[in-house]
């Protein structure tokens, strides 16, 4: 098959891009012709890995561009004419490429793989400014709650209106998790209401043989408020007086880094918390693999939570918030623990259990590895999408 993957970014900016390029390579290894079309917008310092590019920007005109990116639509039209794919697989498209790319698709079958809630939330995370999960459909509520200023609200409402008009062109809608599928059905337009679910996959790996000599927890992700890293720091500070040897490693960068470093110092655990900054995917996984437990303390409904699946694949126990797709990855009490989001006391309790009990941490990791091999392995993910491609082509 000739398959065109479409994504807003061509750099390894986050989990979505890791999924896209891992899928490209896995499909190519199976003999398919696969290209990735992405925007030129920079996201981080990584090189753009896409095969074909359309215009994108992270500058002052970004809101206008993501609402109506004619240049990207024309570029995609040229790629479609030259490559003639059997199927187009669209991932992220609402933060750079815009709904106008759907005008270029002609009659080729199109899969939309909904990797987050951007189609039903202009800011994507469905969090209100006060930290509550948003209960509203997108519209005037986005302005009334303070989620969007007026100068962004107008073009983004235009974007969502265009998307509701053009996106019924999708042949099939597939969601990254049941959580996303449920939210699309609850808050989205009719064509989003019957999304099937295909969990993404990570490369198979052997489980680590043993834990490191000293107990260590790790968290990895962009340092933004919705990731709940401050909750983890408060939890770690609660157990620190009873556990003088455990350490916490924070992997990633973002606008909250200075605040988090200051919070660790204020809580008296600054010398026991290491902030590594952003690491390569390989270095991140090596650090996760060396930990006793991986933490995913998100406050928002994570669409999936790739780092949780990756940690389990490497045999690492996981403590995650009981929200979004994370509840589909971690089997509570079997491969790790699920805790209420934003609850440092509950998180501290589970963290102390695992950092004080090597045998328990190892046992949960072993079961997590088996679960990841069954449910979240890259080859299985690729096979499930191949079946969908063939079905929509026929």
Does the structure show a pLDDT above 80 at 43?
no
Does the structure show a pLDDT above 80 at 53?
yes
- Take residue 154 and report the two structure tokens written for it: 């107008």
221 and 196, same structural domain?
no
Q: What is the pLDDT of residue 44?
A: 67
Q: How far apart are CA 369 and CA 372, in angstroms?
A: 5
Q: How far apart are CA 129 and CA 136, in angstroms?
A: 13
- Take residue 275 and report the two structure tokens written for it: 């902030």
232 and 193, same structural domain?
no
Q: What is the pLDDT of residue 245?
A: 93
Please indicate, yes or no, if residue 209 is contained in any of the structural domains.
no
Instruction: State the residue range of the domain holding 285.
Output: 216-375
Q: Which of 30-34, 117-121, 242-246 has the highest mean pLDDT?
A: 30-34
CA-angle at 261, arms to 257 and 264, nearest 5°: 140
**Rounded mean pLDDT of 137-165?**
93
Please indicate, yes or no, if residue 80 is contained in any of the structural domains.
yes
Q: What percentage of the chain has pLDDT greater than the value 70?
A: 99
Please indicate, yes or no, if residue 208 is contained in any of the structural domains.
no
Q: Which of the four pLDDT bands, split at 50, 70 and 90, describes residue 55? A: very high
Q: How far apart are CA 303 and CA 123, in angstroms?
A: 14
322 and 230, same structural domain?
yes
Helical axes 306-313 vs 358-375, angle rounded to 10°: 110
332 secondary structure, DSSP code: B
Helix (H) or strand (E) holding 92: none
Please indicate, yes or no, if residue 98 is contained in any of the structural domains.
yes
Strand order in the sheet with 273-277: 273-277, 247-251, 216-220, 293-296, 317-321, 336-339
Q: What is the pLDDT of residue 113?
A: 97
Strands (DSSP E) contained in 191-279 are 196-197, 216-220, 247-251, 273-277
Tell me phi and psi for residue 90, to 5 degrees.
-100, 130
Q: Whole-model pTM?
A: 0.92
Please indicate, yes or no, if residue 308 is contained in any of the structural domains.
yes
Q: What is the pLDDT of residue 13?
A: 77
Q: Strand 110-114 to strand 87-90: parallel, antiparallel, or no bridges (unpaired)?
A: parallel
Q: What is the pLDDT of residue 68?
A: 94
Q: What is the pLDDT of residue 30?
A: 97
163 and 235, same structural domain?
no
Question: What CATH number is given to the structural domain containing 168?
Answer: 3.40.50.2000
Q: What is the pLDDT of residue 191?
A: 84
User: What's the domain count of the chain?
Assistant: 2
pLDDT digits (tens, 9 = 90+) for 290-337: 999 999 999 999 999 999 999 999 999 999 999 999 999 999 999 999
């Amino acid at each position: 098959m000739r398959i065109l993957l479409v994504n807003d970014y061509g750099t390894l900016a986050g989990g979505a891009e890791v999924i896209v390029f891992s899928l490209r390579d896995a499909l190519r290894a199976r003999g398919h012709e696969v290209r990735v079309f992405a925007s030129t917008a920079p996201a981080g310092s990584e090189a753009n890995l896409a095969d074909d590019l359309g215009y994108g920007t992270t500058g002052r005109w970004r809101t206008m561009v993501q609402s109506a990116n004619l240049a990207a639509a024309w570029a995609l039209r040229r790629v479609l004419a030259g490559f003639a794919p059997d199927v187009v697989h669209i991932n992220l498209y609402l933060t750079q490429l815009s709904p106008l790319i759907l005008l270029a698709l002609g009659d080729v079958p199109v899969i939309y793989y909904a990797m987050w809630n951007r189609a039903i939330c202009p800011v994507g995370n469905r969090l209100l400014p006060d930290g509550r999960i948003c209960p509203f459909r997108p519209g005037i509520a986005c302005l009334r709650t303070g989620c969007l200023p007026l100068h962004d609200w107008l073009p983004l409402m235009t974007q969502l209106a265009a998307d509701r008009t053009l996106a019924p062109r999708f042949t099939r809608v597939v969601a990254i998790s049941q959580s996303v599928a449920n939210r699309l059905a609850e808050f989205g337009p009719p064509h989003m209401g019957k999304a099937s679910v295909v969990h993404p996959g990570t490369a198979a790996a052997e489980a680590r043989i043993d834990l490191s000599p000293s107990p260590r927890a790790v968290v990895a992700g962009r340092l933004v408020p919705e990731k709940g890293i401050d909750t983890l720091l408060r939890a770690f500070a609660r157990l620190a007086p009873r556990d003088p040897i455990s350490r916490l490693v924070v992997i990633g960068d973002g606008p909250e880094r200075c605040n988090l470093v200051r919070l660790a110092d204020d809580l008296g655990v600054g010398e026991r918390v290491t902030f590594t900054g952003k690491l390569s995917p390989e270095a991140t996984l090596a650090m996760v693999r060396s930990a006793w437990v991986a933490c995913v303390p998100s406050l928002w409904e994570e669409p999936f939570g790739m780092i949780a699946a990756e940690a389990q694949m490497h045999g690492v126990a996981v403590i995650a918030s009981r929200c979004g797709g994370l509840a589909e990855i971690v089997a509570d009490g079997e491969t790790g623990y699920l805790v209420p989001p934003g609850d440092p006391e509950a998180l501290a309790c589970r963290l102390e259990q695992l950092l004080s009990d090597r045998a328990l941490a190892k046992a949960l990791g072993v079961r997590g590895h088996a679960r990841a091999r069954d449910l979240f392995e890259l080859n299985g993910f690729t096979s499930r999408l191949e079946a969908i491609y063939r079905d929509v082509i026929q």
